[in-house]
Amino acid sequence: MEKMLTQLKKIFQTKSWPNYKFTTRLSALEVKRKITLLSKSGVTRYLLTFILVVFLLDLVFPLPKPKPYSKVIYASDGSMLTAYLSKDEKWRMQIHLNEVTNDLIKAIIEKEDSWFYWHYGVNPYSLIRAAFQNITSQRRISGASTITMQVVRMLQPAKRTYLNKLTEIFRAVQLELHYSKDEILEMYLNLLPYGGNIEGVKSAAYIYFNRPPGKLSLSQSVLLTVIPNNPNELRPDQNLKEAIRSRNNWLKIFMGRKTFDKQELTDALEEQVSVSRYPVVKKAPHFCRYVSNNYMGNEIRTTLNSSIQETAEKLLSGYIERVRSKGISNGAVIIVHNKTNSVAGYCGSYNFEDSVSLGQINGVTAVRSPGSTLKPALYAMAFDEGILTPAMRLPDIPTDFNGYEPENFDEKFRGNVTAKYALVNSLNIPAVQLLQQVGPDKFISVLDKAGFSEISKNKNSLGLSLILGGCGVKLEQLVHLYSAFSHEGKIFSLNYLKGQSLNDTDATGLFTPASSFLISTILSSNERPDFPAGFLYTTNLPKIAWKTGTSFGKHDAWAIGYNPDYTIGVWLGNFDVKGSPDLTGAGAAVPLLFELFNSIDFKPKKLWFDTPANVLEREVCSETGLLPSDNCSNLTKDYYIRKVSPNNKCDLYKSFYVDAKETMQYCTECLPDSGYKKVSYPVYKSELTLWYLKNKIQVKKIPPHNALCQARHSGDGPKILSPQENYEYYIEANTSQQIYMQAASDPSIKNHYWYIDNEFYKKSLPGDKIFFTPKKGESTIACLDDLGREEIVKIKVNYY
């Protein structure tokens, strides 16, 4: 025993105290001092023994577990968006003292336990008085429960017996050891019963008065202090008259005790009480479901901006009503504030309650085909890898990519176009060719870093069609990707919780600041087919960059836009996956995107992005986008990235010896002594030349070579367009299916000669399609032009 007392004395004399909160009038130092004084008297042994017993009981009989709270979601301004029932099916919203009016706290303490801040969980005087009254009257006349004891009873309900009262007293002392007075009072306010499944002051304030507890009047506050005495009989939504009678009784008692100002109490007595069973607010339902499912805690304080959310919901709902007749029944919107990368607006559907349109499906997280919305990321990669600059040319002509023959949205082709034109007009063939050049695996790796989980999961089965929408994405993921362009190519996690900030150490670099600026510049052009007619001149639209997308079959319409302030994503479609001829990114989604920017950012804080130091301008050949040579007469300005962009000189124009009338071409072997001149001609790729000829587009043609020349020629020969090198065919047996051969040459070539497995097959004109029935196995196909130049491809045929 002596050793135990010595050990306890050491505990009180050390600076390291156990995890108990002495938060009453006695500070830790005062307790130490009193222990030291008591140690000099005979009381010490008994006092320390009592303390030891309390400590041991506390270890053996721990406090009951706290009751679960409702999960409450808040907007960035602190307003409640919604709440969910607790695990035990109660409306029990957690409240803190700073959320409660002083009137309510004052009324509670005065009514229930005026000595609350002076006792240690039990009021001895009240206990003795209640015991005397109850024994002498042989019935229960008065209670002696303090607020702390009531908390114990609410945490661990039990029948009212003397043994349970003793247990309650012990638990009250135990509670005081573990928690401060304010913490105990908070527990009390959170556990008070208000009838049915309503518990706690906050729940009662919202459900009975439709307002937060911090905005209750004195009359309403006092009403909430009396209901817990008999919650089923005093429920204001069922027995308002009796509840008001009890409230008035206590208002008069407070008047007698001068607890509040007399005039305030008089006004409270005369106040008309309007009470109803209000439904718990349900704002931004898809957003709240998302954060509730993905974040822990009883109180989730989010980044959602109430004003922006209200605007987004109003615009989306109104827009869907206008386009419903066009077969478009739903839409989704997500708005990200770029400064903090926080979600400021979030509409999963136009109307959560519309079951006919499947409004409970969340369009922000639904997996859909992205159409062309991934193209900006591909072009940014090409800029970063020095493959391309905005003015460089890409062929937009019919192309066979090993059996995959994509078409443009309007089923038209434009020939040789600039990269800027191809991206702004969302041309498909240049994008597929660029993906083939960059490499699908490398592109998928970037998308994986950006968080495209469905693409990552299916990466082994994705091919060139990926860039045209042959994959699954979410609107949230697309907006996340585009937000990187506003952060100089760095992607940050989307913030849903208030208080989070951007940290460069957590960022992932997708693109460089230079390529991000080039993409932003290209996509901010107003000279494009997807710009709504007249919109620029009738609104306060800020400068934005945007890209549209339309899925195959016109099931999904997308528009993603951004500027320095916001990144906004819009999806329109039908959750039953029905298509509509009007479901296009340009026609359906862009007008809503513009309305959103016009409403929430009509006065942007920053007009546009700064030009990176390594992005410069230079003059290039307007026909190729390459550095001009001596033969280039038409020049234009183009952005380039220093030490990254290609510095190749334009080689489109080549010099040829021709006769005076430019009808015949000479080589050095057949060049006459006189009557010739040297002229520059554009030499396009053979497949582009063929497309020009077929579409009757006038280009300066190289004259045919001197027919009498006997010399053999080197250089570029015919280009076999079909079949593709090393392509493997699978043909159904007994169907007489054939394969076509086609090759292109420069305009000076008159004939092609086709050979199959070293045997002559047929003569044709350049560009003509020649069909043949293939044999099983490998075959070698050769095409010669009339200058003896050839190209050879190998194929394999399987019959099944």
Residues labelled catalytic: 112, 372
Distance of CA 442 to the CA centre of its chain: 23
List the beta bridge partners of residue 619.
Answer: 637
Query: Structure tokens of 782?
Result: 């050769």
E strand or H helix that includes residue 327: none
Residues 6+ apart with CB under 8 A from 421: 414, 427
Under 8 Å CB-to-CB from 307, ≥6 apart: which residues? none
**Contact of 597 with 544, CB cutoff 8 Å:** yes
Structure tokens at 203: 């729940």
Q: How far apart, in whole angstroms, are the C-alpha atoms of residue 421 and residue 418?
A: 5
- Cβ(190)–Cβ(205) below 8 Å: no
The dihedral sign for the CA sequence 87, 90, 93, 95: negative
Closest among 677, 680, 681 to 660, alpha carbons compared: 677
- Could you tell me whether strands 615-621 and 566-573 are parallel, antiparallel, or unpaired per DSSP bridges? unpaired
The structure tokens listed for 674 are 């006189």
Cα(377)–Cα(473) distance, integer angstroms:
14
Q: Residue 632 is encoded by which pair of tokens?
A: 């280039």
End-to-end CA distance of the chain: give it in Å, rounded: 94
Nearest CA to 748 among 695, 709, 793? 709
Distance CA 235, CA 245 (A): 12
Query: Are 742 and 777 spatial neighbours (Cβ–Cβ below 8 Å)?
Result: no
Six token digits for residue 760: 């002559």
Q: What is the DSSP string of 177-239?
A: HHS-HHHHHHHHHHH-B-STTEESHHHHHHHHHSS-GGG--HHHHHHHHHGGGSTTTS-TTT-
Q: What is the DSSP letter of 587?
A: I
